[in-house]
């Protein structure tokens, strides 16, 4: 459970997914008309999120996914990413995020290095590359958000769960891997993930009324996932920004009424010296994911009137 005022998780939870799902079930009733996640042309509300994750986890178990299996996550849309990562974790498997725009050869290498046994991907050209990469990897099953020939639709996992709850996975939070990173290679335990979420929550200070606009290219995978998880836990809204430029971030802030926006050092510099302020002034707090000089921070504050917080 998270504290409403501080945004910090209680240490009694043993996994981030357990923390998020407990909170999402509460928000499903209280905030049913508010989107939890906004992606490219779609959104997922709290009731849908709370329903789909356990159903998809049970579906994965029916399709043979077992605790400890590694699932490669090749997705860019935040709606799909959050559903996939938490469904994989809920069945006791290990999500391993892969770069969304990597080549087929690079994806095959990363799948083999992380020991992936199944793949969660999207649709379109990048998903076709990921599917082709599985021919040179040890992946035995592919699940796709969308229509991808040769893959099992994610929707079928949800529909085929047979009304059963996902099997209870016996998790040792101090030793069992909760997230496998590829670049650089690193395993994070469930305890590591919860500790990282606690630190990120203290820096970001997300509250239920917030809307967070964020592009994946401005974050490491743990930060990208962590910001989504903080929003889900707090009843806030996470709005993904598909394009990488500063103008796209400003457009998302305006379109979604964002109260927080995430930027890397290069994007912060572009905001400070290149992009024009929004026509209608908004109170926005900028969360910066890397170090930069004080003159850039000062210029951004003067240009946009935005407060700047460093996530570390």
For 20-63, the pLDDT digits (tens) are 999 999 999 888 888 999 998 899 999 999 999 999 999 999 99
Cα–Cα nearest to 21, from 59, 49, 57: 49
pLDDT-above-70 percentage for the chain: 93
On the 0-12 / 13-18 / 19+ scale of CB atoms within 10 A, 174 is exposed
Calculate the average pLDDT of the chain: 91
- For residue 111, give the DSSP letter: H
Residue 204 CB coordination number (10 Å): 24
Per-residue pLDDT at 146 exceeds 90: no
The 10s digit of each residue's pLDDT in 204-249 is 999 999 999 999 999 999 999 999 999 999 999 999 999 989 999 9
Mean pLDDT over 143-156 rounds to 94
- pLDDT score of 11: 37
Q: Does domain 46-186 have CATH number 3.40.50.980?
A: yes
Structure tokens at 64: 């043979």
Mean pLDDT over 255-283 rounds to 91
- For residue 280, give the DSSP letter: S
Cα–Cα nearest to 84, from 255, 197, 194, 224: 224
- pLDDT score of 9: 39
| Domain ranges (residues) in the chain | 46-186
């Amino acid at each position: 459970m998270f504290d409403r005022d501080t945004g910090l998780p209680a240490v009694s939870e043993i996994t981030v997914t357990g923390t998020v799902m407990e909170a999402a079930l509460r928000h499903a009733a209280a905030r049913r008309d508010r989107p939890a996640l906004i992606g490219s042309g779609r959104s997922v509300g709290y009731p849908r999120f709370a329903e789909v994750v356990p159903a998809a986890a049970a579906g994965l178990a029916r399709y043979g996914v077992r605790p400890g299996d590694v699932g490669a996550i090749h997705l860019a849309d935040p709606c799909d990413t959050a559903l996939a990562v938490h469904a994989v974790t809920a069945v006791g498997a290990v999500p391993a995020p892969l770069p969304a725009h990597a080549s087929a050869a690079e994806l095959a290498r990363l799948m083999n290095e992380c020991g992936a046994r199944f793949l969660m991907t999207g649709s379109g050209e990048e998903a076709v590359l990921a599917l082709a990469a599985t021919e040179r990897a040890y992946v035995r099953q592919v699940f796709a958000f969308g229509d991808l020939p040769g893959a099992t639709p994610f929707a079928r996992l949800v529909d085929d769960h047979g009304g059963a709850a996902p099997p209870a996975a016996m998790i040792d939070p101090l030793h069992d891997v909760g997230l496998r990173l590829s670049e650089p290679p690193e395993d994070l335990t469930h305890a590591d993930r919860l500790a990282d979420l606690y630190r990120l929550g203290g820096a970001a200070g997300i509250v239920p009324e917030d809307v967070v606009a964020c592009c994946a290219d401005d974050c490491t995978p743990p930060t990208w996932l962590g910001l989504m998880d903080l929003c889900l836990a707090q009843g806030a809204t996470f709005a993904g920004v598909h394009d990488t430029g500063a103008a796209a971030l400003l457009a998302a802030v305006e379109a979604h009424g964002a109260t927080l926006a995430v930027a890397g050092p290069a994007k912060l510099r572009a905001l400070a010296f290149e992009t024009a302020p929004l026509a209608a002034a908004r109170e926005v707090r900028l969360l910066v994911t890397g170090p930069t000089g004080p003159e850039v921070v000062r210029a951004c504050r003067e240009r946009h009137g935005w407060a700047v917080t460093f996530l570390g």
